[in-house]
Amino acid sequence: MNNRGFKYGDGLFESIRVGPKGAPLLLWHEQRLRRSLDQLGILLPEDFQLASFIRLGEAYRLRLSCWRAGGGLYTPEENGLAYAVEEQPLQAAAFPWPKKGLHLGVYEGQPIAAGGLSFLKSLSAQTYVMAAKYRQESGFDDCILLNAWGRVVESVAANIWLRKGEGWATPALSEGPVAGVFRAYLLDVFGQKGVVVEEKALTIADCLAADEIWLTNAVQGISWVREFMGRGYVCSWAELWQPRLNARLWGE
C-alpha cells in the first residue's frame, strides 16, 4: 500500500461545516491548510482551491484528508499532495445549541507534545483517540488534555476557553493546542467587540476558578461545560454568543 497517510500519519486533515449557501469560514480553513502543508513540506498544486470541494444546496460536514504522495519509508520519495474527501450530513447549517452542558474530565494517559507541529490537525491522532476512548469508558462528555508541564491544552476535539468575570483566557498556541479555525475566528470577533482574551498558560486550578468554560470548534461552534471535578458552571455568555455567531455566519 503506497499511502503515507495510512502508513506513517504523514499528513493532516480539515473539518469544515458547510451549509446550503456555502462555508462561511472557508478562508480561515484555507489559510490554516496552506500554513500546515507548508510546515510539513507538502507541495500544493498551483491551481489548488479549497472552494472547489464545496458543494452547495445541503448542510454537511466535509473532511479533507491530505497526505504526502509517493512511497518511501520514513524518508519520502516525493513531496506532492494526495487527498481524499468525505461528507457527513448535518441536520442544519447553523451550530446546534447544547441544552445540557458537558460533564468534563481530565485525560492524563499521554501528554500533548507542544512544538512546531502541534498547531496542525495531524493524521497521527493516537493521543486524541486514546483520550476519546477514556472519555467514553469513564462516562464523561469530553476530557481536558494536558501538556508535559501538566497544563491545560485543549479537549478531545475542541479548543478550551475560560471566563472569569468579564475576562476570557484560552491556552496559547505555545502550550500545544491545535490552531483551531473557530478559535482564530472567535479571537477576531471578540477583538472587534472589545472583549479581552488572554492567550496564556492555564492550569486545572484556573478551570476550577472560572465562571464559565467553553469548548469550541468549527463544526459545533460553542459547547458549554456544565460540570468539572464537582464544580458547576454557568452558560450565560454561551447563550448570548451562539445565536450571535449563527446570525453572523449562517444568517440564522
Residue closest to 132 by CA, chosen among 141, 119, 122:
141
Category of 219 on φ-ψ map: left (φ > 0), alpha (ψ -120 to 50) or beta: alpha
CATH topology of domain 4-89: D-amino Acid Aminotransferase; Chain A, domain 1 (3.30.470)
Per the CB < 8 A criterion, the answer to whether 114 and 148 are in contact is yes
* Separation CA 12–CA 36 (nearest Å): 8
Instruction: Place 252 in a pLDDT band, splitting at 50, 70 and 90.
Output: confident
Residue 81: helix, strand or coil by DSSP? strand
CATH number of the 102-250 domain: 3.20.10.10
CA distances to 103, 155, 176 from 146, rounded to whole Å, are 17, 9, 9
pLDDT of residue 107: 99
pLDDT of amino acid 54: 98
Per-residue pLDDT averaged across 1-16, rounded? 95
Residues 18-57 pLDDT 10s: 999 999 999 999 999 999 999 999 999 999 999 999 999 9
**Rounded Cα–Cα distance for residues 49 and 53 (Å):** 8
Domain ranges of the chain: 4-89, 102-250
Residue 213 has pLDDT above 90, yes or no: yes
Q: Would you say residue 68 has pLDDT above 90?
A: yes
pLDDT at 108: 98
